[in-house]
Chain A
Amino acid sequence: MTDQKYDILLIDDDYDVLVFYESTLTLNAYSVIKATNGNDGIELAKKHQPQLIILDTRMPDRDGFSVLAELKKAEINSFVILNSRKQAASFDKIKGFNLGADGFLDKVVKSEEFIARIEAFMRHKNTINELKENQKLLNSIIEYSTNVFYIIGEKQILKYISPQVEKLSGFTAEEVMIDRTKLVTDNPINIIGIEKSKIAFDTGEHQGNYEMELKHKTGRKIWVEVRETPVIENGKVVQIVGSITDITEKHKLEEDLKLNVEKYKELFYAESDALFLIDNQSKQILETNIAAAELYGYSEQELLNMKNVDLSAEPDQTAKITIETPIIKDNIINIPLRYHKRKNGSVFPVEITGRFFELNGKMVHIAAIRNISDRLKLTTELEKYKKELENLVEERTKQFEQQNLKLKKSHGAMTFLIEDVNDTRLQLTKAYNNLKAVNNELEAFAYSVSHDLRAPLTRINGFSNAIINAVDEPLDTKIKHYLNRIQVSSQQMASLIDDLLKLSRISKVNIEIEKVDISKIASEIITDLVEDKKYINHKYLVNNNLTCFCDKQLIKVLLLNLISNAFKFSSKVSKPFIEIGAVIINNAESIYVKDNGVGFDMNYKNQLFAPFSRLHTDEEFDGTGIGLATVQRVINRHGGKIWAESDLGKGATFFFTI
């Protein structure tokens, strides 16, 4: 709630004075309130904010100076006029003005003069208020503006700079006032600004805006735009008012842009492809690069005076595409193959990439031209290689197919082979089974031989013997001889049968290999043999430590046959001698049985080991012809070897290795 506004507050302890002033003022249409002491006056002043306060300097409880001080302290905006009853002393006035008094009113008694003075004060106050308002406005402009304002006076003295400078530069206004040079970098561009500022001061002419490079307290660079206006009074420049705008961001953007443009220009020129900037309408070349000059054989300058169609070997096509290409921003077209011509008239293939865009209101395009002669050559060559490769592949495929065919055939053959093998195996199995059956039959046969063939011999022998006993008289010698022959024959046949059985048995038994003492076995056999009277004259030698890895039973049969043969065939010599020993032949230990008997004809050595084969007659030596066949069979079963050496009449030696 606002209190009623009063024009004038009167503070005076003298009631008469108060009434006089009040009546005079009221008559002149001023609204008046009054206080009779200082404290009341301060209260009313605070409450009503009058335009004018007329304050008595001398009051009993509190004088005018003290009230004035309080009013100013309370920031009362009223115009305060000190009033004294008599002419105020000079020092009082000084004191009053120093405290903020706006004027003095000496005691006046005439109402006209009083009113005239009040009116003058009122006018004065309004002017001041206006000024204050303007000042306020200015302050708020200065305060809220992002710009920094300053005033430079004569001799380039900085008279004022707004506090915003701190925001801009980090330096306070005071710091800048003392030394403003610390704001300025040594960038040469600043010289221009400083020169412009001087010229403006000297000539009073506006020099236009300029940019400066300043530096922040932290060292960071700040770009600013400066506007200066010379203030002229009486045809003479008194000061320059300036404003500073921070354009660091903008400047940076501009710098970047500049850099980019330069970079692009550089790229444009350094590009290995030939580049042209072409006006679509006129087909005029606006920009080009070194690569283009090199490619076409023209200088850059020459190119800049040419049109794109001048470079084409197919100018109609080029013209058509230049104009007819839909005019769309960022439209990119690619022409994979076109023929262009050089200054010297030679034609070459190129690939063109065009980018269409608007530049300064005109439709233009950048054409990137690439010489593809090498590529084409390469493509042709590649095509050639590809063909060759294809041929090769085809050829190889054919070969492969042929091989495959062969393989298939082989596979077929193999299948047949496997079938054959299977067949063979089946046949073998059959044969094996047959053999087994045959073997069984043979066994049965051997049994039969043993029993059935022999049994009749017993009878022949028996009954022929019985004849002798059955006849009372002594028999005729002839008959006796015949009966005797029957008996001997039957006995021979019986022993033949027994030998055959032995032979068959050797093939049948399982062999067990062990270390066998040959010397011992031979000695035992000889010991048995020499008991026979027939061999009473025989001398013999069995070497010690003869051993052999073989089947003991079979080796016994073998040795019995060889040794008894040796005894038998040496029985007719005067000094029969048998030797059993071992000798190394062809790195193998060969055991031998040697005699000094009749020996045999080496021409028949192949018949020696065949069954039933005999090299001597029964009259000379009895025997069945089975013995050496049995020996051979024993050797075979061991996988060994047997052979004989002999000279007729000088004995024989049988060697064997197992």
Chain B
Amino acid sequence: MKKKKKILLVEDNPDDAELVLLSMESKKIESDINIINNGEQALDFLMCKGQYINRDINDLPDLVLLDLKLPKKSGVEVLKEIRKNETTKYLPVVIFTSSNMEQDIKQCYINGANSFVRKPVDFNYFQTAIEKLSNYWLVLNEKYNLE
């Protein structure tokens, strides 16, 4: 049986999270998706800390969809931590946000984002974006595993 690809969606707004899920459903994308609504928890998840202490540290997602505007730790800070940590260093991180501010885009790439995608307002485009992202990062892309 083909193992489902895993997505970590870091998104504080449950509506947006639902739209992502809706899109995946409508585009028939099968994946194991974890939704975490703040940056700190997302890091705990990845580093197996706090409530995720019993998680297997090597059980990393195939893609992290990271919103920028998050409570507590911002998306950029989360990104920085991911790139700093040895195990998560090469994790594919796609910024998925409403902003298209230049300084945001710049900051993300400087800190090692793999991609920057703006959430389209038109839901048709939104769905297409999710579809394309999934196809690329979960299907086409070969990720680098440390072990």
Residues A408-467 near B (CB distance < 8 A): 446-447, 450-452, 454-455, 457-459, 461-466
What bracket does the count of chain B residues touching chain A fall in? Answer: 20 to 34
Contact of B15 among A463, A464, A491, A498 (CB under 8 A): A463
The reply on A494 being an interface residue by CB < 8 A is yes
The reply on B99 being an interface residue by CB < 8 A is yes
The reply on B109 being an interface residue by CB < 8 A is no
Knowing A459-B15, A459-B19, A463-B19, the reply to whether A451 touches B126 (Cβ < 8 A) is no
Please determine whether A465 and B100 come into contact, CB atoms closer than 8 angstroms.
Answer: no
Please determine whether A491 and B68 come into contact, CB atoms closer than 8 angstroms.
Answer: no
Please determine whether B119 and A450 come into contact, CB atoms closer than 8 angstroms.
Answer: no
Q: Which residues of B contact A498 (CB under 8 A)?
A: 100
Please determine whether B19 and A462 come into contact, CB atoms closer than 8 angstroms.
Answer: yes
Knowing A447-B101, A450-B101, A454-B98, the reply to whether A461 touches B16 (Cβ < 8 A) is no
Contact of B69 among A452, A487, A501 (CB under 8 A): A452
The reply on A469 being an interface residue by CB < 8 A is yes
Please determine whether A458 and B16 come into contact, CB atoms closer than 8 angstroms.
Answer: yes
Q: Which residues of B contact A461 (CB under 8 A)?
A: 121-123, 126
The reply on B26 being an interface residue by CB < 8 A is yes
Please determine whether A451 and B19 come into contact, CB atoms closer than 8 angstroms.
Answer: no
The reply on B54 being an interface residue by CB < 8 A is no
Among the interface residues B68, B97, B100, B121, which one has the most CB atoms of the partner chain A within 10 A? B121
Please determine whether B101 and A469 come into contact, CB atoms closer than 8 angstroms.
Answer: no
Q: Closest CB of chain B to A249's CB: distance in Å?
A: 125
* Cα distance A121–B22 in the bound complex, in angstroms: 202
The reply on B124 being an interface residue by CB < 8 A is yes
The reply on A284 being an interface residue by CB < 8 A is no
Please determine whether A455 and B122 come into contact, CB atoms closer than 8 angstroms.
Answer: no
* Cα distance A501–B104 in the bound complex, in angstroms: 14
Contact of B121 among A452, A490, A505 (CB under 8 A): A490
Q: Which residues of B contact A469 (CB under 8 A)?
A: 26
Please determine whether B121 and A458 come into contact, CB atoms closer than 8 angstroms.
Answer: yes
* Cα distance A280–B120 in the bound complex, in angstroms: 140
* Cα distance A375–B15 in the bound complex, in angstroms: 120
Q: Which residues of B contact A457 (CB under 8 A)?
A: 121
* Cα distance A469–B124 in the bound complex, in angstroms: 12
* Cα distance A462–B22 in the bound complex, in angstroms: 9
The reply on B145 being an interface residue by CB < 8 A is no
Interface string of B125-144 (1 = CB under 8 A from A): 01000000000000000000
Q: Which residues of A contact B85 (CB under 8 A)?
A: none
Please determine whether A458 and B99 come into contact, CB atoms closer than 8 angstroms.
Answer: no
Please determine whether A454 and B69 come into contact, CB atoms closer than 8 angstroms.
Answer: no
Knowing A450-B99, A455-B98, A469-B26, the reply to whether A462 touches B123 (Cβ < 8 A) is yes
Q: Which residues of B contact A462 (CB under 8 A)?
A: 15, 19, 22, 123, 126
Q: Closest CB of chain B to A551's CB: distance in Å?
A: 16
Knowing A450-B98, A452-B69, A458-B98, the reply to whether A466 touches B22 (Cβ < 8 A) is yes
* Cα distance A498–B101 in the bound complex, in angstroms: 10
Interface string of B44-65 (1 = CB under 8 A from A): 0000000000000000000000
Q: Which residues of B contact A491 (CB under 8 A)?
A: 121-122
Residues B60-80 near A (CB distance < 8 A): 68-69
Whose C-beta in chain B lies nearest to the C-beta of A448? B69
Q: Which residues of B contact A452 (CB under 8 A)?
A: 69, 98
Interface string of B11-34 (1 = CB under 8 A from A): 001011001001000100000000
Q: Which residues of B contact A450 (CB under 8 A)?
A: 98-101
* Cα distance A461–B101 in the bound complex, in angstroms: 21
* Cα distance A75–B100 in the bound complex, in angstroms: 163
Q: Which residues of A contact B97 (CB under 8 A)?
A: 451
* Cα distance A455–B16 in the bound complex, in angstroms: 8
Please determine whether A458 and B119 come into contact, CB atoms closer than 8 angstroms.
Answer: yes
* Cα distance A602–B33 in the bound complex, in angstroms: 59
Whose C-beta in chain A lies nearest to the C-beta of B99? A451
* Cα distance A397–B70 in the bound complex, in angstroms: 81
Q: Which residues of B contact A463 (CB under 8 A)?
A: 15, 19, 123
Interface string of A488-505 (1 = CB under 8 A from B): 001100100010010001
19 A-B pairs with CB atoms under 8 Å apart are: A446-B101, A450-B99, A450-B101, A451-B68, A451-B101, A452-B98, A454-B99, A458-B16, A458-B121, A459-B15, A459-B16, A459-B19, A461-B121, A461-B126, A462-B15, A463-B15, A463-B123, A469-B26, A487-B123
Q: Chain A: residues with CB nearer than 8 A to chain B?
A: 446-447, 450-452, 454-455, 457-459, 461-466, 469, 487, 490-491, 494, 498, 501, 505
Query: Lowest 4 CB-CB distances: which A-B pairs, in order?
Result: A465-B123, A494-B121, A462-B123, A462-B19
Known: A451-B98, A461-B126, A505-B102. 7 other contacts (CB 8 A): A452-B98, A455-B16, A457-B121, A458-B120, A459-B19, A461-B122, A463-B15
